[in-house]
Amino acid sequence: MNNNIVIAAIGAILLSLPFVGVDSYPLHLIIVILIWSFAYTGWSIMGRFGLVSLGHGAFMAIGGYVTALLWNNVGLTPWIGIPIAMALSGVVAVIIGYPCFRFRIVGHYFALVTLALSEVVRQVIIATRDTTGGSLGYTPERHGEGWSILAIQSDDRVAFYYIALAVWAVGIVIWKAVDRSMARYALEAIWEDEDASAAVGVRVTHEKLKVTVLSAVMTAFAGAMYCQYQMFISPDTIGGVGISLQIVFAVVVGGIYNALGPTVGAVITLLLAEVLRIGIGTENICITDKICLNAAGVPLLIYGVMLVMFIIFLPKGIVGGVLDRWRGPAQTGPSKQP
Amino acid sequence: MLTLSQVNAGYGDFQALFDVSLDVRSGEAVAVIGPNGAGKSTLMRVISGMIPAFGGSITMQDVSVLDTPAHQIVGMGIAHVPENRRLFARMTVEDNLRMGCFSPQFRDRYTERLEFVYQLFPRMRERRDQMAGTMSGGEQQMCAIGRALMSDPKILIMDEPSAGLAPVIVQQVFELIERIRGEGLTVLIVEQNVKQVLKVVDRAYILEAGTIRMEGTATELLESADIQKAFMGM
Amino acid sequence: MAEFTDALFSIFFVETLINGLLLGGVLALLSLGLNLVFGVVDVVWICYAEIIMLGMYTIYFLHVDAGIPVIIAAGCGIAVTTILGLLVHRIVIHYLLDAAPINQLLATGGLLFFLQGSAMVAFGIEFRNLGVSLGSLIVSEDIYLSWTRILCFVLAAGSVGVLYVFLSRSYLGAAIRAISQDREIMPLMGVDTKKLYLLTSAIGGALAGLAAALLALQYDVHPFIGLSFGPITFMICVMGGLGNMVGGFLAAFIFSELITIGGYFADLEWGYVLAFVVFIATMFVRPEGLFARKS
């Protein structure tokens, strides 16, 4: 089958969704999935090279909070605020990344250092609660009614759908671009053997830093978009260890070595959470007077079991696993697992 | 005492040993000599259960070694001195020796065995509280052999005891081996240092590309023109 | 500046330092179990704090609902977490022993969500307090030290001591120290590594239970309490050098002092920020941990 036809067909379906009678609620879900997919794609750009960051919650939070704070306090439009947030996030990535790569902090040490970053940002948000609202969350001020191009705010889901779709598509394009670039070969070589790569002239720190900054900037953008769409952020919905882990896991579920893996991961994990939430509800189910079960925890519980199963039985994720069945294991990624 | 018959072994898809058969009789010292990559270390590893065999049989006093879980093989009386000594570098000499006595059936005799090792290698008594990793190569080899002797083995299998040591120390190591032989212990040793090892053993096998090429008494082999040409550069 | 020096020499600052020391004892205990498991099994249990959380619930329900004396309830809590430690190893880690370290880390991260979710389903999201108060030790007019904290410190220090003796005197202890130095030759020593892993996981679980008992005296329990202790515990372990129990012990006190001192000059959150920033900075200077031996 011709790939271009498939892409065109999928594109046409996605573009026409709002006109074929998709309700407001499913559309909302799709928008959320698209925004998260973009963040997950951003993570996997570095994660696929063994750079497992548990600090992306920090970049997400920087994206959302900096944009919203600039808008509310300085009146700076997100058109400028978002680039500032992204730049700041890039700077933070360099501050953390440079020494890490320079001093060869890799594997789970890298994961734990970046995890500290998630916590630092979360605690800073909580500590500055007078400005940021702390753990109760923060809302960008509404600018007028309906559409505000200045504030990138809208009541109109259809419009936001197209924005999110474009953002998501750009994410896939970036992923593909990295996949085709020379940097990919350099990074795969570094992952296989850092010393040998350095010996043949690969600039290890430089290459790792480039991909980390790109990944951080994308994630910050996702955080800002999330904030503009949901009009509410809190340290626990876009930051901290919880979100950092959520990002990693969605990618692991979807598949790390394929452009659409993170998207598939987002669809599966977010839909599952939603289906469980609606299906089971959040009411208490009381078996006896004393023993009540709180259904709100069920999605989390199932999510956890699913992740463990995936890592044990399908470490290449759904897309990777399916492709393996289809065309033999050799082509979906390096032999090493992240 | 220890009999290998038609042993095949290797790592994953790579086969390193092909139908290797050899035996070591009680009280004897036997060497397996051969060039780098001949499969000597693989042979040692398969005997002590560090890697599984693809096929064949290994028996120790008529009990199958291959059917015994790796951690119980030392209990059958086979003690392995690994290549490069592999001491626990950040533990004291005495703690290292104690690890040699880990299996519950040996623990009763810990004090007695410790005394035996200290008598054999008085240097170890001096160094008992020193971190093993801080000793010289020769002392580390003593400690590694001592650790293996803690379980009062019937047979000691040694993997390249002279590897990575300075020539003077190599001499010492072979003296150690003679001292151990003097205790009446059965020894199976693999070495690249052919000339030296043939002076301390009774018999030897030549292993090349994973197969036994030749066997004979140490004197025969020392005089063999082939061996001299191949291994001693004469 | 004068304000700052005043604050520094104030009697309350002394109290802060002492409280930091007391907190350090608990953190040391927290890091101990994780470090032990890491040293032996070579896996970081991201869900360690969630095991502690379930231990806290066990103690809470046995004491508050069933009216069992708090000491016995604590014993049961330790039993529960010991079993949990065994299960974590046998059901999950056992199958990932040869997997990449990061996959092992992620799998225990999955368990984190599972345990949180289970706690939410079973116990709801209310904050629950054990309601045991031991009062305060009045040192002087200005300094009050909570007996609970003192008790926690003493118990934590005591268990560190017991563990130290176990590790340095017993055969099993020697094997636990040895395995982190050379995994491959353990069978040559007659050590069944699989069994040693299980045993260590059980000890790690038991230490989590002890930590649970101490934390239950001081903090409310809720399904997400693990998130307040988990990250800090990993960081302490990494700062001290993963698997290095002495390093972890010292790092715990550095962390606790930073947190309480930060909390003294600003908010407690800033204390955490300070501790985490120092942690990140340390990693740049000593990536293998503050107390790593040079190899």
Using the beta-carbon criterion (under 8 Å), do C190 and B49 form an inter-chain contact?
A: no
Structure tokens at C86: 């065994």
Residues C190, B95: C-beta atoms closer than 8 Å: no
Binning pLDDT at 50, 70 and 90, where does residue B233 land?
Answer: low
More confident residue, B159 or C268: B159
User: C71 CB contacts (<8 Å, ≥6 apart)?
Assistant: none
Are residues A96 and C272, on separate chains, in Cβ contact within 8 Å?
A: no
| pLDDT band at residue B17 using 50, 70 and 90 as cut-offs | very high
| The two three-digit tokens of residue A71, written as one number | 């808008």
A85 vs A26, which has greater pLDDT?
Answer: A85
Statement: residue A4 has pLDDT above 50: yes
CA separation for the pair B146, B217 (Å, rounded): 28
Closest residue in chain C to residue B151, using alpha carbons only = C189
Nearest to B82 among C171, C188, C191 (CB): C188
- Report whether C50 contacts C219 (CB < 8 A): no
Q: Residue A307 carries which side chain, given as an amino acid letter? A: L
Chain C residue whose CA is closest to B44:
C188
Residue that the structure tokens 């901290």 belong to: A240
Q: What is the DSSP string of chain C?
A: -HHHHHHHTSHHHHHHHHHHHHHHHHHHHHHHHHHHHHHHH----TTHHHHHHHHHHHHHIIIIIT---HHHHHHHHHHHHHHHHHHIIIIIGGGGTTS-HHHHHHHHHHHHHHHHHHHHHHH-S--B-------EEE-SSS-EEEHHHHHHHHHHHHHHHHHHHHHHHSHHHHHHHHHTT-STTGGGGT--HHHHHHHHHHHHHHHHHHHHHHHHHHS-B-TTTHHHHHHHHHHHHHHH-TT-HHHHHHHHHHHHHHHHHHHHHS-HHHHHHHHHHHHHHHHHH-TT-TTPPP-
How far apart, in whole angstroms, are the C-alpha atoms of residue A201 and residue A186? 10
Question: How far is Cα C72 from Cα B52, in angstroms, rounded to an integer?
Answer: 48
Q: Answer whether residue A278 shows pLDDT above 50.
A: yes
- pLDDT value at position C8? 67
> Tokens 């994410």, residue?
A171
Distance from CA of B103 to the nearest CA of C (A): 5
- Rg of chain C in Å (alpha carbons): 19
C-beta atoms of C121 and A293 within 8 A: yes
pLDDT in tens, A185-217: 888 888 888 888 888 888 889 999 999 999 999
In angstroms, the CA C295 to CA C281 distance is 22
- Chain A residues 234-253 with a CB less than 8 Å from chain C: 240-242, 245, 248-249, 252
- Residue-wise pLDDT tens digits, A262-273: 999 999 888 888
CB contact under 8 A, C284 and A103: yes
Beta bridge partners of C294: none
Give residue B106's domain range. 2-231
| Contact of chains B and A by CB distance (3 or more pairs under 8 angstroms) | no
Q: Does C44 touch chain A (CB under 8 A)?
A: yes
pLDDT band at C293 (very low <50, low <70, confident <90, very high): low
Asked if A94 reaches chain C (Cβ–Cβ under 8 Å), the answer is: no
Give the per-residue SS3 of B199-217: HHCCEEEEEECCEEEEEEE
Judge whether residue A156 has pLDDT over 90. no
- Residue A196, token pair as written in the block: 């040998």
What's the number of domains chain B is made of?
1
Residue B223: which H helix or E strand, with range? helix B218-223
Q: Is residue C89 a contact partner of residue C218, using CB atoms and an 8 Å limit? A: no
C-alpha distance from residue C89 to each of B115, C35, C116 (Å) = 39, 15, 18
Above 80 in pLDDT, residue C10? no
Range with lowest mean pLDDT among A223-237, A275-289, C108-122:
A275-289
Q: What is the pLDDT of residue A333?
A: 46
pLDDT level of residue B112 (50, 70, 90 thresholds): very high
Phi and psi, residue B82, nearest 5°:
-70, 160
Structure tokens at A283: 């009411």
DSSP state of A329: G
Mark yes or no for CB contact B101/C171 under 8 Å: yes
Residue type, A297: G
Contacts with C293 from chain B: Cβ below 8 Å? 90
Give the pLDDT score at C270: 86
Q: For testing the chain C interface, which of A300, A306, A309, A336 should be mutated: the one with the most C CBs within 10 Å?
A: A300
Nearest residue of chain A to residue C270 (CA atoms): A127
Touch test B–C: 3 Cβ pairs or more under 8 Å? yes
Q: How far is CA A83 from the centre of its chain?
A: 18
Test C175 with B86 for CB contact under 8 angstroms: no
CA atoms within 13 Å, Cβ hemisphere of B157: 25
What is the signed CA dihedral for A174, A178, A179, A181, rounded to 10 degrees?
130
Q: What is the ipTM of this complex?
A: 0.89
Q: Which chain C residues are closer than 8 Å to A276 by Cβ?
A: none
Report d(CA B233, CA A115) in Å as an integer: 59
User: Hey, is the C-beta of C83 within 8 angstroms of any chain A C-beta?
Assistant: no
Determine what percent of chain A is predicted with pLDDT higher than 70.
94
Chain B touched by C186 (CB under 8 Å): yes
Asked if B100's CB is within 8 angstroms of C182's CB, the reply is no
pLDDT at C1: 61
Q: What SS3 state is found at B71?
A: helix
Cβ of C190 within 8 Å of Cβ of B89? The answer is no
Q: Are A81 and A70 in contact (CB under 8 A)?
A: yes
* SS3 sequence of C272-295: HHHHHHHHHHHHHHCCCCCCCCCC
CB contact burial B21-43 (16+ within 10 A = b; e otherwise): ebebeeebbbbbbbeeebbbbbb
**Does C have 3 or more CB contacts under 8 Å with A?**
yes
User: Is C272 at the interface with chain A, CB within 8 A?
Assistant: yes
Domains of chain C: 2-285 (1.10.3470)
Phi-psi sector, C100: left (phi>0), alpha (psi -120 to 50), beta: beta
Q: Does domain A23-331 have CATH number 1.10.3470?
A: yes
- C187, closest residue in chain B (CA to CA): B71
CATH code assigned at B73: 3.40.50.300
Residues comprising chain A, all counted: 338
Across-strand partners of C138? C144
Please tell me which residue, B158 or B184, carries the higher pLDDT value. B158
